[in-house]
Chain A
Amino acid sequence: MEPENIIHKKIQRNYLFVALFFACIAIAIPVRAFYTAIIEGQRWKEFAESRIQKNISVSAPRGNIYSCNGELMATSENSYRLFMDFWAEGIDSAVFKKYLHPLAVELNRLLPSKPVSHYESNILAGWNQKENALKQIKAGKKAVKNREYRLDIEEVNYLQLKEIRSMPFFRLGRNKTGLYTSSQVLRTNPYGTLALRTIGSIYGEFDKGGKNGLELGYDSLLRGKNGLATSQKIESTMIQKIEKAPVSGYDIVSTIDVNIQDITERALIEKLQEYGAESGTAVVMEVSTGEIKAITNMGKHKDGWRETKNYAVSDLSPPGSTFKVVSMMLMLEDGLIKPYDTVDTGGGSYNLPRSKFTITDAVRVGDGIYTASQSIQYSSNIGVGKLTVKAYGNQPEKYVEGIKKTGFTDMHLEIPGYAVPVIPDPKDPDRYWSGTDLFNMSYGYSTGIPPIYTLTFYNAIANGGKMVKPRFVQSIMDGGQVIERKKTEVINKHICSEQNIACIRAMLDSVVNGSRGTGAKARSETVRIAGKTGTAKLQDGNGGHQVTFCGYFPANAPQYSCIVVLRRPQGSPGGGYMAGPVVKRIAEEISGLGTNVRDVFAAVDTAAPKLPAVKSGLFKPIRYAMKKLDVDFNNDSSGQWVSTRSTEDKIVVNDRKIDGNLVPNVIGMGASDAVFALESAGLRVSLAGRGAVTSQSLTAGTQVQKGNTIAIHLQ
């Protein structure tokens, strides 16, 4: 055996050998790293860059549009299309086949529009497609690997998608089922077609933005600023990294009041239906501010009435008799007549001098000799025409100038595509000024004036002569903060003297409330309405008439002005009896809303206070409300749910049995109670209308099939 110290030396020597070997590797490592980093560095960096997709646009969330009370009128929502990749590595054939049927059952439960068998066969078809391709490949032939089999399932929203992802089989996840989605942003209108043409819509391709209405008018504010992202493939998935965050679009608070809009729409549709009209327009404007509270353009479709072209701002039909008021005002203001000046309308038929035209009046009152006021009250074409020709016959340009100065020029509305009034001008070298033009214009022909301009004029009368611009937007908001509050714009401070305004208002009042006024059908017991009727032949070559009523209410202290136009009604046309009742109904219902209008009229019925209408529903809140309002009711009910009935002097409350397993009776309930009752019973609710429930699609008292959808209609 070698001596101890020699062994130790040898051990140390061998350690040194190992150290030398390690040293070689230790040198190789930084050399190699240096080579990669410095010599090859550019190439690797370029390669890394090439894997990054730069400047990918990230869509900014589009702003919402709200009603003036904060209800959502237009918003964006993701919708998802479902795909299956049957070539996904983790799909187990046995598991797939075992759960296919339960899955189809669940899909049908969630989306009942298609039967179980449809879902089952549709998914199976995709599976078979893959199996066939697999056979082809195994047989050495070429086959297409379809990794994106589109399921024939409607596009779903996020909540539905979450539910689908928890269904049998699909809950196993992307790898084991191949289920994946592509999403797109949809613009939805929670209030359906309510004021849809004015709210507007956007293009199918989301990024193209607004197509019409406020969506287009305020597109630049709504759309926000798109962000930028880079995208990089990590193993097999693309990962997006946001470089510049998108900036959400601003929210727009419109002036539309959903309640008034709803009232207006229903009132309009009722008469459109009754007279079989082709289309109709109704606009409600707040007198002092010019805010458009409701605007509707209803056209007839196969399946009922739908928002159609925005006639309110774009239609250039002759205004008809509503324009007589403009003529009358100008004559008064220019001091060319006095309200009590008379005019002989003859036998109700008048041949225009030096022309073959014969003008007739729709009605004839007394001897046909009218004061100026009466020619408005009875809407005499001959009366107003003769007066106007007498006043301006030798200076028609003064009349035309007066019209324009009043405010019938471009109002720069917020709704893209609005029209500007067409008013013939004797000074216009391109248009022949005919001898009959003045006469025709005076009672509303030879011109083209969009309804909203007529309304603006009447609103000015209601507003004491101050003409304000109609507005559709109240404010612009950014993340809940108001960043701009739109102000009322004055177009014309005084369209005429206060004295003349009073004159005109008296005339308009007499149209509705005077004896034999053409607007008698607009007369209301609860709201005093003033206004003017109009009936005009449509000039587009297809014949027919358009009937109008334009006015304001309450006549003594106007709050709202309103115009209603019906196009091509069946039967003998008349603005007074066709459009008048629409305005009447709108006025009455708006007064019933508990807005300020009510205060003006509250005094009417103090002697016999009316009982409030009480909806059926949960007893506790009903009892609370009735106690607070000192409403008499029988307090002997004990159930959770009650139905209510009004008698002359009190509310009668009865228990309503609601059993968890039976479809509840929700007739007479308000929306929230009805939905609560139905959802508690395990039903899904699809709801339409507003007010109290008037009908339900599943019969009350039948067995509940959990998850079924029940449609309820409220009115």
Chain B
Amino acid sequence: MEAIGKIFRGDRIIWMIFLFLCIISIVEVYSASSTLTYKTDYYKPIVKHTLFLFLGTVIVLILHSLQPKFFAVLILGIPVVWLLLVITKVLGSTVNEATRTFAIAGFNIQPSEYAKLFLIGATAFFLERYKVTQKDVFYRLIIGIAVITCALIMIDNFSTAFILFAVVIIMMFIGQIPVRKLLLFAGACTVAGGLFAASLFAVPEASFEKAGLKRAVVWKKRLINFVENDDAKDSKENTLVLTKDNYQVTMGKIAVARGGIIGVFPGNGQQRDFLPQAYSDFIYAIILEETGLAGGLFVLILYIVLFIRAGIIAQRCSRVFPKLLVMGSAIMIVTQALVNMAVAVDLIPVTGQPLPLVSRGINSTLITCAFIGIILSVSRFENEKGIAVESQIEKDFDAAAAR
């Protein structure tokens, strides 16, 4: 036990959450990826996923041994991400009219995932600069970086761009950018967004296609679908007709309904065969089907505890950068989790957000692990009690070395 404590240092609760999420992930991804197995052998997808989680754990271990101040280097990742986003647009593979990934050495790199990490690092860093200098240039810098990054992402992945941008705004709100400024900016954004939404309906679809914005048609469909779907449901009972557009949502609902309170137990789910992204975007629906409302609630609580715990860790910080870094990391993880869950239970329109650490996918898994590593690092070094523990461990090591 003591040996484990020496390797897995930092906040125990965060570690516990990490462990639980990993276990849930392995079980549910194994169950949900049945559709992937028929082309290869049974264990290949799950072995690969377990390997990713293992790799992620290594990343957590590395990052949590670094001093928080070191994470300032994250800002250097911003230009790299921009470059990757451009490369993806040029070289990437297209899925569902979206070019989100490109392959390097057998791995599909999804730059928007890395953008999450670096943008949050940069935001925390510049917010501290802003606090120290009170210069608007840092505020504008944040806005500028966020706008460019999100604009690059938006072309192919609107929801990620939107979520990322929202998280940056929230961080600025927490990081003491005056609300007046934020409101002004938010107003501008709303107007721009409204104009854009209007243009979706005003401009003919063919023009979008010509302009290389085929995704616009998909957004429009989803928007219409979300608005209309609810109306149709209330007015006509039991006359549901499956269409290409309501297919995923309906299959998700059937999963939730089949699950009931305690679920049909892992491995017995059926909807994984019908949901095209059962192991990723709709994994929460599969969790609800196989472990019921009880299991679904447990997973939700894990993220909530993570959020609360991150707040406590941040509270102990004496400096602003690590504090905001921890908060930003937690917000990013939990936002994605809430969006994924909300999609699965049909609270919001279908978007492709993974359930952090649980969904299958190397990019998301590694980045979430990086966030966890950062939170753990801060919990180790920005904490008086923690530092005392650390120094005691170091002393033990020294004593052992001396013997």
Contacts and interface: CB of A to CB of B under 8 A. Distances in A.
Bound pair (A, B): yes
B247 interface: yes
A357 interface: no
B293 A11 contact: no
Contacts of B318: 8
Contact of A19 (B237, B261, B311, B345): B311
B254 A44 contact: yes
Contacts of B244: 235
Given A16-B311, A36-B257, A37-B259, A28 B320 contact: no
Given A11-B324, A19-B311, A40-B253, A26 B293 contact: no
A32 B247 contact: no
A29 B345 contact: yes
Contacts of B293: 30, 33-34, 37
Nearest to B167: A18
A44 B176 contact: no
Given A36-B346, A37-B259, A12 B300 contact: no
Given A10-B176, A37-B288, A15 B253 contact: no
A33 B345 contact: yes
A689 B342 CA distance: 73
Contacts of B347: 25, 28-29, 32
A217 B265 CA distance: 50
Interface string A694-710: 00000000000000000
A479 interface: no
A234 interface: yes
A16 B173 CA distance: 12
A48 interface: yes
B331 interface: yes
A18 B174 contact: yes
Contacts of B237: 43
Interface in B304-361: 304, 307-308, 311, 314-315, 317-318, 320, 323-324, 327, 331, 334-335, 338, 341-342, 345-347
A617 to B, nearest CB: 46
Given A37-B256, A40-B253, A234-B273, A12 B315 contact: yes
A22 interface: yes
B311 A12 contact: yes
Contacts of B317: 8
A499 interface: no
B258 A48 contact: yes
A45 B288 CA distance: 14
A624 interface: no
A47 interface: yes
A1 interface: yes
A233 B303 CA distance: 36
B274 interface: yes
Interface residues of A, number: 39
A44 B315 CA distance: 45
B173 A36 contact: no
Given A30-B293, A47-B254, A22 B334 contact: yes
Interface string B162-182: 000000001001111000000
Interface in A220-247: 233-235, 239
A47 B238 CA distance: 8
A14 interface: yes
A30 to B, nearest CB: 5
Contacts of B292: 37
B260 interface: yes
Given A30-B300, A33-B288, A36-B345, A25 B338 contact: yes
Nearest to A27: B300
B345 A32 contact: yes
A44 B257 contact: yes
Given A15-B327, A37-B257, A29 B311 contact: no
B344 to A, nearest CB: 8
A600 interface: no
A688 interface: no
A29 B260 contact: no
A234 B270 CA distance: 12
B131 interface: yes
A41 interface: yes
Nearest to B315: A12
A29 B320 CA distance: 32
Contacts of A34: 293
A350 B182 CA distance: 134
Given A25-B342, A43-B238, A12 B254 contact: no
B338 A26 contact: yes
B229 interface: no
B13 interface: no
A48 to B, nearest CB: 4
Contacts of A38: 260-261
Contacts of B341: 29
A33 B293 CA distance: 7
A239 B303 CA distance: 37
B65 interface: no
Contacts of B7: none
B342 to A, nearest CB: 6
A22 B176 contact: no
B253 A44 contact: yes
Interface in B209-267: 237-238, 240, 242, 244, 247, 250, 253-254, 256-261
B137 interface: no
Contacts of B315: 12
A47 B345 contact: no
Contact of B258 (A33, A43, A45): A45
Contact of A22 (B134, B257, B307): B307
A26 B238 contact: no
B45 to A, nearest CB: 19
Nearest to B303: A26
Contacts of B303: 26
Contacts of A40: 253, 257
Contact of A11 (B242, B323, B334): B323
Contacts of A15: 174, 311, 314, 327
Interface in A309-344: none
B191 interface: no
Contacts of A48: 254, 257-258
Contacts of B250: 44, 47
Contacts of A17: 173
Contacts of B373: none
B19 interface: no
Contact of A33 (B170, B176, B256, B327): B256
A17 B307 CA distance: 12
Interface string A31-61: 0111011101111111110010000000000
Contacts of B68: none
A7 interface: yes
A215 B207 CA distance: 67
Given A29-B296, A44-B257, A47-B240, 19 more contacts: A7-B176, A11-B174, A11-B175, A11-B176, A11-B314, A15-B174, A17-B173, A22-B338, A25-B342, A29-B338, A29-B341, A32-B345, A36-B256, A37-B260, A43-B257, A44-B258, A48-B258, A51-B242, A235-B244
Interface of A: 1, 7-8, 10-12, 14-19, 22-23, 25-26, 28-30, 32-34, 36-38, 40-48, 51, 233-235, 239
22 contacts: A11-B327, A12-B311, A12-B314, A14-B174, A15-B314, A19-B307, A19-B308, A22-B338, A26-B338, A28-B342, A29-B341, A30-B297, A32-B347, A33-B288, A36-B345, A37-B260, A44-B250, A44-B254, A44-B256, A45-B257, A45-B258, A51-B242
Interface of B: 131, 134, 170, 173-176, 237-238, 240, 242, 244, 247, 250, 253-254, 256-261, 273-274, 288, 292-293, 296-297, 300, 303-304, 307-308, 311, 314-315, 317-318, 320, 323-324, 327, 331, 334-335, 338, 341-342, 345-347
Q: Would you list the 10 A-B pairs with minimal beta carbon distance, nearest first?
A: A44-B257, A14-B174, A41-B257, A32-B345, A48-B254, A36-B256, A33-B345, A29-B341, A37-B256, A25-B338
